[in-house]
Every structure is written in structure tokens, then in C-alpha cells.
Amino acid sequence: MKKIELVNNQLNVNLKPNDKILLQTKSGIAKFEYISRKNDEYLIKRIEVERKYILYFTVSKFWFVKNGTVTYLLGDN
């Protein structure tokens, strides 16, 4: 597992379809699966939740923010 960071305005990882992304939130860890990329937008879907509908999200590299030496996917801190 590798921490996703913005380095020189680029993500430090090359995401591939089916890669898993974890997001730390106040209420726990949310899990996503990477689907595809178009230009600077990343299509991800929420996984391992009990919902009738699957939630898909389009995020950009700007959802990854730096705070000191740590980079986070935007969420609630």
C-alpha cells in the first residue's frame, strides 16, 4: 500500500483499474475502487458499503491536498 501524494502538481502513483483507495474520515475508513482516468479527472466508486445503489465519484488531482508533510484525499478531518 502506498500513500497518495501530490508531487510537483502530479500524483505520485500511477493508478490502475481496480486499485483500492482508502480515505480516513472521522467515522472510519471509506474504501473506493479506481475505475479510469480522463485528462486530470479520476473516476472512483465507493465499495464495501451496504447500499442499494453504487456511488460513483469523479475527482481531480486537486482533491489531494497537502498539510505539512502529509497528503490527504479531501474529506472530513
The tally of domains found in the chain comes to 1
pLDDT in tens, the chain (77 residues): 677 777 787 788 888 888 888 877 777 788 888 898 887 788 888 888 777 666 777 777 667 666 666 666 655 44
Domain assignment of residue 1, yes or no = no
pTM over 0.85: no
CA distances from 62 to 7, 17, 28, 50 (A): 12, 20, 22, 28
Domain assignment of residue 54, yes or no = yes
Residues in contact with 27: Cβ distance below 8 Å, sequence separation at least 6, in sequence order: none
Domain assignment of residue 44, yes or no = yes
Q: What does the pLDDT read at residue 14?
A: 84
Domain assignment of residue 49, yes or no = yes
Tell me which residue range forms the domain holding 13.
6-73
Q: Give the chain's count of helices (H) and strands (E).
A: 0, 8
Domain assignment of residue 64, yes or no = yes
Q: What does the pLDDT read at residue 76?
A: 45
Domain assignment of residue 19, yes or no = yes
